[in-house]
Structure 1
Amino acid sequence: MEKDIKVIKLNNIEKKEKLILSIGVFDGIHKGHSSILEEMFNYALINDSNTGIITFEDTYPKVFKNLSSFLLTKDEKREMLSLKGIDYMFCLPFDSKLRNLSPKDFIEFLRKNMEFSCILVGDNFKFGKGRTGDVSTLLELSKNYNFKVLVKPLYDIDNTTISSSMIREALQKGDISFANKMLGYKYFIRGKVIKGDNIGKKIGFPTVNVKPDPSKLIPKNGIYKGKAKIKDKIYHSAIYIGTRPTFNGEELRIEAYLFDFAGNIYNEIIELVLEEYIRPDIKFHSLEELKKQINQDLLSIKYRIYEEEKEIKIITIDGTAGSGKTTIAKSLARKFNFDYIDSGALYRSVGFLAMKFDIFDECKLVEIIKENQIKFLWDGEKFRVFYKEIELTDLIRTTEVGLVASKIGRFRGIREVITGWQRDFLKKVKRGLVLEGRDSGTIVFPNANLKLFINANIDIRCERRAKDLNDINKEKVLESIRERDYLDINRDLAPLRLPQGGYFIDNSYTTIDEILNIITTLFMRSM
C-alpha cells in the first residue's frame, strides 16, 4: 500500500481473504448511497468478505463540486460508513498525479496497491481523467484485472434520482421533510454547547447555543421542530437557526429550546435533529411581539409532539449468533420502557418440540403449534416461553436446539405462524416494541422505525456463546457458530441480511452503555 493512501479500519470485525470495494465521495450517505452500501454488506456476508470504500480527501469535492460545506463532516462520514457495515475506508490523495490517471491506469493503481475481488458501483459511475470511464469501461477492465463488477441501479423517489446536491438544495430552501426523506434519516447538527448572551433566558425562553463544525452545511434560517440528544437522553426541541434580526444580530446562531430540561451543559457535545420547518426567521417590531410568536411556535410544536407520541415505535434487531444481540435488545426495551420479543426463543421453542416429539415434518409441526400456541411474555427482565403451561425458557438454551431451530426456520409454514404471533402481539403494545431475532427487520416489520444488525469479531462471539450455553468446549462452540452462520446466511427462505435502511453495530469490545448510546442516537435520527 502506498504511503499516501490512508487506510482506516472502521470496526473490529476479523480480516478476511476477500474484499469488495465501492468508490465515491458519499457525502450525506443518503438512500442512494445506502442502497449500494447495503448491497455490499450483504454480498460480503454471503461471500465471507470484508467491505471497503475508496474515497478522496476534501480537495476533490471542493475543487470539482465547488463545495465549502458538507452534509457530513469527516468524523460523521466515518461513523456513518461504520454504521453501514463498512470495514475499511481507503482515503486517496486527490493530487495532480491521481487526477490525470486514465481509467485503465486508475484500476491498475488500485490493483497494485490492494487485493480485491469485486467492485460495486451505481449505474451512473464515472472515473478516470475527465470522468471518461463509466460502467462499461469498468466491466471491460475487470476482465483483464480479474475482478467482478456489480452495478446497482440509481435510487429514485417519486421518479427523481436522489443526489447529494438535491439534498443540499432542499436544506437551503428549508424543505427539511424532503431532505430527510432522501437521506433516510433526520438531518443532524452536532456541536459544543457554548455561552450565549442569555437573551432567551431573560425573555422567559432559555436556550442552549450550539457551535457546529465549520464544514457542516447549515440549513435555511428559521424555526424547526426537532430533538436534542444530551448524553444518553433525548429531548423534544424547538430549534432556531438565524441571525436574530429583532436584535440586529449579524452572526449566525444555532439555538435550541429544550422541553422538560433543566441543567448546565456548557462545553457538552450535543446533537440536534431537524424534523419540520415551522416558519422563517423574521424581524419583529417589539419584544412583546417576539415573545407572543415564540409562545405560538412552542404551542404548535407541542401539538405535533402530542400527535407523534401516539405512534407505536418499533426497533428490530437481527444479527449473528453470539453477537450479544439479546443483551442489547433487552437493555433497549428497559431503557425506553418498550415491550420485547425474542423471536429466536420462539423458533428454539418449536425446535425443542420437534426434538421432544421427534417430529421434523413441516405440516405436522405446524399442526402442533397451531393446536397449542406457544405463549410468551416479557416480564421486564426475562423473555419467557410456555407450551401447555410448561415453561421452556431455560430448556431451549442449548447448542443442539439452536441448530435445529435454524433448520426448521427454512419451513415456510413455521415462519408464517411465528411471524403471525409477533404481528398479533403488536396490538397489545402501548409505547413501543423491541423485536429481536430472525428476520425481524426484513420480514416481520420491514417498516420499523429503526432496524439493527448486530455482529462482533468471531473470537468474541465464540467466548460469549460458550458462556451463554455453559459449554467449556470452545472449539465445538466455534464450529457450531460457523455452521449456524452458514445456515442462517444461505437458507432459501428469508436468509440473514442487513435490512433495507438498517444499521450495523459492531459489538466486539464496546460496553453495553456505549452501545446503547450509539443506538439512542440512531433512534433519534430514525424516520
Structure 2
Amino acid sequence: MELIRGLHNLRKKHQGCVVTIGNFDGVHLGHQAVLQQVKAKAEELNLPSVVVIFEPQPREFFAGSQAPARITRFRDKVERLKAQGVDRVLCLSFNRRLASLSAQAFIEQVLLAGLGVRYLVVGDDFRFGCDRSGNFALLKQAGAAQGFEVANTHTFEVAAERVSSTRIRQVLADANFVLAQNLLGLPYQISGRVIHGQKLGRQLGVPTANLSLQNKQPALQGVYAVLMATQDQVLRQGVANIGNRPTVSGVRPALEVNLFDFNGDLYGQRVQVIFCSKLRDEVRFANVEALREQIQRDQLAARAYFANHADQGIPLAQNKLNLTDNL
C-alpha cells in the first residue's frame, strides 16, 4: 500500500481511481464494509482503490480538546487500512487553508485535478467544503458533469444497530471490550513506541513502559488489565493506566503499562497494548504512598482477572507490528 501525504505529492500516475473519503477512526466493521465496496468496484474497473483521510481529523481542528476521543492513532489507522487491502491512502493535512476551501474547489482540486476520480463512494449524509456546504447531491451533480459516478455506502449493523465510531466510543467508555471487538473486528488496542518517562514507577517499585499519546484524547481513561505484545510477538500480562495521572500532576494524556514478572528493556520498541478489563477509574490520591498501595491492589485484581480467564485467549491484531516503515 502507498501512503501519500498531501496533494503536492500526487503525480500523474495517481490519476484514475475509485475513491472513498472519511475519518475512518477505528477502521471498524462498518468502515470495512465500505472498503470492500470500494475494492470490488476498483477490481471491476481495473483501477486502484484510494482512501482519503485527514490529519488532524476535522472536528479536532475545529473543536480542539472538545473533539471526540480518538479510537485509533494515525499509524494504527494506516496499518489497518493496509490490512484491508487498500491500494493507496491519501492523507490531507486539515489546516485553515483546507478548511476554507469551497465545496466546488474541493471537487476540482482534490477529486478531479488531484485524483482524477472515476468512481466515488461516500455516505448520503457526507458533508464537505467550507461551512460543510457540499453534500451528496452536489457530488452527484459534479459527477454527471465531469464523468465520474457517485455511490452511497452500504450500512453495516451488529445487534440490529449501525456500527459507527460514535457507538464504539461509547462501548469503550463502558469498558465493554467484548462488544468493542465485535464492532472493530479485533481486540481494542493501542500501539506505540516505548519512550522514557519520569521513572516514577521505578521509584514506586512498579517500573512501567510508557507510550506517548501525542496529545490526542484517548477513548479510554482509567486502570485496566492488559496484554502487551512486544517486538518478539509474545503476549505479556500487566496493568495499564491511561489518562492524565492526577496524583503526580500530569497534564498530558499518557499510557503507562506495568508488566508482571518482566525485567527486560523495552525502550525504543514498538508494542501493542490490548485492553481486556477495566479495574477502576483514574483518581487523585492524597500522596504517593497511597498510590503505591492502590497499585498493588490493581496488580492483584489484574492477576485474578487473568487467572479466571486463562482459557479464553485473546488474539493479536490481524496486522503484526511493523517495525521498519516510516509512517
Cα 1:272–1:450, aligned 2, differ >3 Å: closer, same or farther?
A: closer
Residues 182-230 of structure 1 show CA distances to partners (whole Å, capped at 9, x for unaligned) of: 3333131423242554646755xx4423131324433444332222121
Query: 1:188 — aligned with what?
Result: 190
Query: 1:405 — aligned with what?
Result: none
| Counterpart secondary structure, 1:298 | helix
Residues 360-403 of structure 1 show CA distances to partners (whole Å, capped at 9, x for unaligned) of: xxxxxxxxxxxxxxxxxxxxxxxxxxxxxxxxxxxxxxxxxxxx
**Structure 1: how far apart are the matches of 2:91 and 2:22?**
10
Q: For 1:30, which of 14, 21, 28 is the aligned residue?
A: 28
**Structure 1: how far apart are the matches of 2:178 and 2:131?**
35
Cα 1:227–1:128, aligned 2, differ >3 Å: closer, same or farther?
A: same
Mean Cα deviation higher: 27-36 or 193-202: 193-202
**Structure 1: how far apart are the matches of 2:240 and 2:79?**
26
Residues 450-498 of structure 1 show CA distances to partners (whole Å, capped at 9, x for unaligned) of: 77xxxxxxxxxxxxxxxxxxxxxxxxxxxxxxxxxxxxxxxxxxxxxxx
**Structure 2: how far apart are the matches of 1:94 and 1:127?**
12
Q: CA deviation at 1:146?
A: 0.7
1:177 touches 1:276 (CA, 8 Å); kept in 2? no
- Partner AA of 2:80 in structure 1: M
Query: 1:122 — aligned with what?
Result: 123
Which residues in structure 2 correspond to 1:409-428 (within 5 Å)? none
Residues 139-178 of structure 1 show CA distances to partners (whole Å, capped at 9, x for unaligned) of: 2322111112222233333343333344344444544444
Query: 2:73 — aligned with what?
Result: 73
- Partner AA of 2:305 in structure 1: I
**Structure 2: how far apart are the matches of 1:143 and 1:124?**
19
Is 1:306 the equivalent of 2:304? no
Cα 1:51–1:65, aligned 2, differ >3 Å: closer, same or farther?
A: farther
Cα 1:288–1:86, aligned 2, differ >3 Å: closer, same or farther?
A: closer
Query: 1:5 — aligned with what?
Result: 7
Q: How many residues align?
A: 308
Query: 1:138 — aligned with what?
Result: 139
**Structure 2: how far apart are the matches of 1:108 and 1:17?**
13
Is 1:84 the equivalent of 2:84? yes
Cα 1:254–1:114, aligned 2, differ >3 Å: closer, same or farther?
A: closer
Is 1:234 the equivalent of 2:238? no
Residues 323-362 of structure 1 show CA distances to partners (whole Å, capped at 9, x for unaligned) of: xxxxxxxxxxxxxxxxxxxxxxxxxxxxxxxxxxxxxxxx
**Structure 1: how far apart are the matches of 2:293 and 2:107?**
63
Cα 1:216–1:173, aligned 2, differ >3 Å: closer, same or farther?
A: farther
Q: CA deviation at 1:5?
A: 1.2
Which residues in structure 2 correspond to 1:326-341 (within 5 Å)? none
TM-score (norm 1): 0.50
Cα 1:20–1:304, aligned 2, differ >3 Å: closer, same or farther?
A: farther
2:194 touches 2:266 (CA, 8 Å); kept in 1? no
Query: 2:58 — aligned with what?
Result: 60
| Counterpart secondary structure, 1:150 | strand
Query: 1:214 — aligned with what?
Result: 214
Structure with greater helix percent:
1
- Partner AA of 1:194 in structure 2: H
Q: CA deviation at 1:100?
A: 4.9
- Partner AA of 2:190 in structure 1: F
Q: For 1:20, which of 15, 18, 21 is the aligned residue?
A: 18
| Counterpart secondary structure, 2:72 | coil
* Ranges in structure 2 where 5+ consecutive residues have no aligned partner: none
Which residues in structure 2 correspond to 1:350-499 (within 5 Å)? none
- Partner AA of 1:269 in structure 2: R
1:173 touches 1:220 (CA, 8 Å); kept in 2? no
Q: Larger radius of gyration, structure 1 or 2? A: 1
1:7 touches 1:88 (CA, 8 Å); kept in 2? no
**Structure 1: how far apart are the matches of 2:212 and 2:174?**
20
Residues 48-76 of structure 1 show CA distances to partners (whole Å, capped at 9, x for unaligned) of: 22111223342733234543863333333
**Structure 2: how far apart are the matches of 1:156 and 1:234?**
33
Q: For 2:37, which of 36, 39, 51 is the aligned residue?
A: 39
**Structure 2: how far apart are the matches of 1:102 and 1:296?**
56
Query: 2:294 — aligned with what?
Result: 290
Residues 105-157 of structure 1 show CA distances to partners (whole Å, capped at 9, x for unaligned) of: 43233223332211111232223343233333322322111112222233333
**Structure 2: how far apart are the matches of 1:267 and 1:29?**
26
Cα 1:111–1:86, aligned 2, differ >3 Å: closer, same or farther?
A: same
**Structure 2: how far apart are the matches of 1:166 and 1:41?**
25
Q: CA deviation at 1:25?
A: 2.4
Residues 418-445 of structure 1 show CA distances to partners (whole Å, capped at 9, x for unaligned) of: xxxxxxxxxxxxxxxxxxxxxxxxxxxx
Mean Cα deviation higher: 228-237 or 50-59: 50-59
| Counterpart secondary structure, 2:248 | coil
**Structure 1: how far apart are the matches of 2:72 and 2:202?**
29
Cα 1:85–1:8, aligned 2, differ >3 Å: closer, same or farther?
A: farther
1:236 touches 1:259 (CA, 8 Å); kept in 2? yes
Query: 2:258 — aligned with what?
Result: 257
Query: 1:356 — aligned with what?
Result: none
Q: CA deviation at 1:17?
A: 7.8
**Structure 2: how far apart are the matches of 1:255 and 1:92?**
31
2:71 touches 2:219 (CA, 8 Å); kept in 1? no
Q: CA deviation at 1:288?
A: 8.6
TM-score (norm 2): 0.75
Q: CA deviation at 1:305?
A: 4.0
Q: CA deviation at 1:308?
A: 1.3
| Counterpart secondary structure, 1:63 | helix
Q: CA deviation at 1:263?
A: 1.5
